[in-house]
Structure 1
């Protein structure tokens, strides 16, 4: 069977998922790693200011919130068990400290996990990210 010529014009460049995830966790553009992924705290920019990769068609939806709840819940469950079994603090102090830890950890993780979800969508060419290579 004769070899058929391959067309490089129609070839799709593979996007690696792991580097994209790390860039997303740093809230950077998954394509170049330089530009900011967000305009504000959770508002994804329409495009990268450096490489002009478009982000307006992402579909992160509720995924980052679910992941944040899952991670924070597991961390707090272990923390509650350890602190209560070792120190038996006053319940009001215990609840206050855990509330502060919960809110702080949630506010820290939410934009990073949203960046990760957008980066995974970009790397896997999901929801309109397949237009460019």
Structure 2
């Protein structure tokens, strides 16, 4: 049986592709690995390509986007229902909160994934570097020759 060799993209994925992959819950770099370990908990890194996902800063943007979308869609349908039909109040008070809650919960994870994909595509936060393939060796940068005016501390780089 032959070993499967995976080739990873050498450059950053485009904005639309990264956000679409994130919306579907996949790694924005390779599209294979999963972003979420639990409902809204982002994995530390992609199990396929090794992209470090732990440094994302999605924070408050996904809930704001979800509130904006759900509020406009549900508000539109409430307005249409109220102006065009005679619907009992008990139905309105029981149906719309359930639709709002269900829609918000259904959209929260995909929107958070899209925000992580947006941050990756723009190189924001900890997404400044691309991942190294799972089988690639990590190489150390070569030491530069030191001169009398060199102010570097050994092992720490320029000061």
Would the TM-score normalized by the shorter structure come out above 0.5? yes
The equivalent of 1:45 in structure 2 is 43
For 1:132 and 1:111, locate their aligned partners in 2 and report how far apart those are by CA, in whole Å: 24
- Higher helix proportion: 1
The equivalent of 2:29 in structure 1 is 31
Largest Rg, 1 or 2: 2
* Match runs of 1:1-133 below 5 Å: 13-132=11-130
Question: Aligned-pair distance for 1:86?
Answer: 2.0
Residue 55 of structure 2 contacts residue 127 of structure 2 at CA under 8 Å; is this kept in 1?
A: yes
RMSD: 1.3
Residue 15 of structure 1 contacts residue 124 of structure 1 at CA under 8 Å; is this kept in 2?
A: no
Moved over 6 A (4+): none
TM-score of the two chains, using structure 1 as the length reference: 0.87
For 1:42 and 1:56, locate their aligned partners in 2 and report how far apart those are by CA, in whole Å: 13
Specify every segment of 5 or more residues in structure 2 that has no aligned partner in the other structure, as ranges: 1-9, 132-159
Specify every segment of 5 or more residues in structure 1 that has no aligned partner in the other structure, as ranges: 1-11
For 1:50 and 1:14, locate their aligned partners in 2 and report how far apart those are by CA, in whole Å: 16
- Matched length: 122
User: Secondary structure of 2:126's partner?
Assistant: coil
Question: Aligned-pair distance for 1:131?
Answer: 1.7
Question: Does 16-25 or 83-92 show the bigger shift?
Answer: 83-92
Residue 12 of structure 2 contacts residue 29 of structure 2 at CA under 8 Å; is this kept in 1?
A: no
Closer, same or farther in 2 for the Cα pair 1:14/1:43, shift >3 Å?
closer
